[in-house]
Every structure is written in structure tokens, then in C-alpha cells.
Structure 1
Amino acid sequence: MREVGAFEAKTHLSELIAAVEAGEVVTITRRGRPVARLMPVAGDNAGRAAAVERIRSLRKGLAGISHKDILSARDEGRR
């Protein structure tokens, strides 16, 4: 992962975008502290797709449980 200062990021933005398009992750710092991260969009979508698939598999496991059953279990736990 590459780190660049805010001023350098501002003056070389097009170069940084080209690096990100090539798959690189760039952290932008201000006074040595990380404040932003440039990363490819495709990497973000892959994580979303995996999360959606996990949610779908969890839903399959709950197919036999009704809304009333869930509320009943919740209320029972409050006693």
C-alpha cells in the first residue's frame, strides 16, 4: 500500500487514479496521519457480493421459522 501526503495527492491526482485503476491502494495522509484511502471499486463490489451470498444462505436456514415464532422467542427472553 502506498502512502502520499495530501498536497502530493492534489498535485498528482491523475497519476494516483491510474495506479488505483491498476489495482493499487493509496492512503492519503495529512501531517503523517491517514485521512483517506483510494481503492479500486471492483474490490469493494466483490466484498458486497460475498456478504449478500452469506445473507442468502442464512435466510435459507430460517425458512421454517415464522415471524410469530421469532417474536415469541424474543418476548420469552425478556421475562
Structure 2
Amino acid sequence: MKRASVSEAKNALSGLLGDVRRGEAVLITHRGKPVARIEPCRDDDLGADQGAAELVRRGVAAPPRTPLDVERFLKAPLVRLTAGASAGDLIVAERRDDR
């Protein structure tokens, strides 16, 4: 990843954006400490739901690693809760099994 100080970024923004257009991310530093990252937009970023984008920005959620395979999703068996179990219990157990 390319690094640039705030002053370097101000003076060479067009060049840095050219690097970003070519797929390279740029880390902006202030007094040697990272403060921002400029990275290429994905096509789906342009129409992203603003609420989801805000959660990603705050680090509460992560963007999907792969596009949703709708056919596979619709063919997946439905999960049925057993008596006395909560959806939260099911999610915790599923996450524990994925480790």
C-alpha cells in the first residue's frame, strides 16, 4: 500500500487518485500516524444502502466477501427452532461450530 503524508497528499492528489483508479490503496498519514485510507470504489459501493454503508464505516459490520448466490440461498434448508431455544442461541451455536 502506498503511503503519503497529508502535505504530500495535498500536493499530489491527482497522482494519488490515478494510483487509486489503477486499483492501489493509499494510506494518508499525519506525523507518521495513519489517519485515512483512499481506496478504489467497487461498482456496488455507488448504490449501497446508506444505513449498511454507515455500519461498515463505523466498523460494526463488514461488507460481504462474495456476492450472494441467490439460487443456493433459496435452496438451503429452513432452520427450525426447537422448543425452548431462541434465535440468539441458534446463532451463537452456529458461530461456535464455524470455528
Q: Summarize the Cα distance change of 1:43–1:2 in structure 2 as closer, same or farther, 3 Å threshold.
A: farther
Q: Summarize the Cα distance change of 1:26–1:72 in structure 2 as closer, same or farther, 3 Å threshold.
A: same
Aligned residue number for residue 15 of structure 1:
15
Alignment partner for residue 74 of structure 1, among 54, 66, 86?
86
Q: How does 1:41-60 map to 2 (within 5 A)?
A: 41-42=41-42, 48=64, 50=66, 52-53=67-68, 57=73, 60=76
**How many correspondences in the alignment?**
68
Structure 1: gaps spanning 5 or more residues: none
Higher helix proportion (structure 1 or 2): 1
> Does 1 or 2 have the higher relative contact order (CA < 8 Å, sep 6+)?
1
TM-score by length of 1: 0.63
Structure 2: gaps spanning 5 or more residues: 46-62, 90-99
Matched-pair identity in %: 34
After the TM superposition, list the runs of 4 or more consecutive aligned residues in structure 1 that deviate by more than 4 angstroms.
none
State the shift of 1:12 in Å.
1.1
Quote the RMSD (CA, aligned, Å). Answer: 3.3
- Residues 31-60 of structure 1: per-residue CA shift (max 9 Å, x gap): 001111111112886x6361x527x74x93
Partner amino acid, structure 1, of 2:18: A
